[in-house]
Amino acid sequence: MSRVRRKPGTKEALLAIGRPLVLEPEKIKGKWKDYFQNDRPIHIELGTGKGTFISTMAQQCPQSNYIGLELKEEILLTAIRKALGLNLPNLAFIWGDAKNLTDYFMPGELERIYINFCDPWPKTRHAKRRLTHANFLNIYNRLLIKGGEVHFKTDNQNLFEFSLNQFCEQGWQLKNITLDLYRKLPENNVATEYEQKFVEQGLKIYRLEAKTK
């Protein structure tokens, strides 16, 4: 993945946006239904990128609330500006890190977590940084409702095999596993920016759904 150039003024632009950016998610921990002003399920994408996936999901599924979490401020600003033009009351963004999820949400506050084309961290010594490492899975298991799910996509075969093993070892229930998503593409598939790029390059897309243990 290419490195994002830091642009002067990005931080100031984010601080000036207000809703749908939640600048202090720690203060809304346990109160997200109050933020959205409804009791609908909450779905979050970890590493939302330029926001195509999460904005599309929010448009297509108004019966759920969506949150895009992104650490890189330049990319986040692009995603939020895209969302502002759509005026989606069921969409919010967090400028934060997945490792801090327990600071943002109470146990059982989330129904679904999307992990799309995350950094594979290929070196063995960096395995704990992978968003499907057991340490992260234990966090997700606490924050998801009973029967909540993680939906995972990647173009990296090694990361996918690693993730399958991690989910199985932690006792998650796996379903809808595919080693080539576009061989028989589901009608409800929503593609990310990276996904579109990888498919154009002829790469396989791996996908799974995992239910809490």
| Secondary structure (3-state) at 31 | coil
Catalytic option among 34, 39, 103, 119 = 119
CA dist., res. 183 & res. 177, Å (int):
13
CA dist., res. 145 & res. 205, Å (int):
28
CA dist., res. 188 & res. 195, Å (int):
15
Backbone angles phi, psi at 144, to 5 degrees: -80, 150
Residue 5's pLDDT is what? 58
All domains of the chain in start order, with CATH: 10-211 (3.40.50.150)
By the 8 A CB rule, do 72 and 96 touch?
Answer: no
CA dist., res. 202 & res. 197, Å (int):
9
Residue 7's pLDDT is what? 74
213 residues of the chain, pLDDT tens digit each:
444 456 778 889 998 998 999 999 999 999 999 999 999 999 999 999 999 999 999 999 999 999 999 999 999 999 999 999 899 999 999 999 999 999 999 999 999 999 999 999 999 999 999 999 999 999 999 999 999 999 999 999 999 999 999 999 999 999 999 999 999 999 999 999 999 999 999 999 999 999 998
CA dist., res. 165 & res. 200, Å (int):
29
Active site (annotated) includes residue 34: no
Residues in the chain: 213
